[in-house]
Amino acid sequence: MRGLADRPAPELPVYAPPGALDAVLALDERRMLSGSFALHEGSPGAAWELGPFRVDVFDLPHHVPNAGVRLNGGGRVIAYTGDTGSSPS
C-alpha cells in the first residue's frame, strides 16, 4: 500500500538475500511498487553497518534458501533465524 497511496510514503529500506523478494514481486507489476521500497541485497556471509548496528547474515539449513541475521550494537546482540533445521554450526 506504500506505493499506491495518494501521497506515497518515503521508500522503505528492505534488506534481504538475493532473489528473496522475487515471488512477492511477481504478484504485482514492478512499476506499481516503484518508489515504495529500496532493496538492499545481502548474501549469507555479508556484513554491513546499519545505523548503530553491525549486521551479519548467515546461511541456514532449509529446503529453500534461508538466511539468519545477527545484530550487534551497544554491547548487545540479537539474532533472528526464522525456519531452519539443525546444523553443527
Cβ-contact 82, 64 below 8 angstroms:
no
What pLDDT digit, counting tens, does each position of 25-82 carry? 888 766 777 788 888 888 888 888 989 999 998 888 887 777 888 999 999 999 988 7
**Residue 11 confidence (pLDDT) above 80:** yes
Q: Please name the amino acid found at residue 84.
A: T
Q: What pLDDT does 53 receive?
A: 94
Q: Which residues make Cβ contacts (< 8 Å) with residue 64, sequence separation at least 6?
A: none
Domain positions in the chain are: 12-80
Residue 79 — φ and ψ, nearest 5°?
Answer: -130, 145
Q: What pLDDT does 30 receive?
A: 65
Tell if the pTM clears 0.75, that is, is over it: no
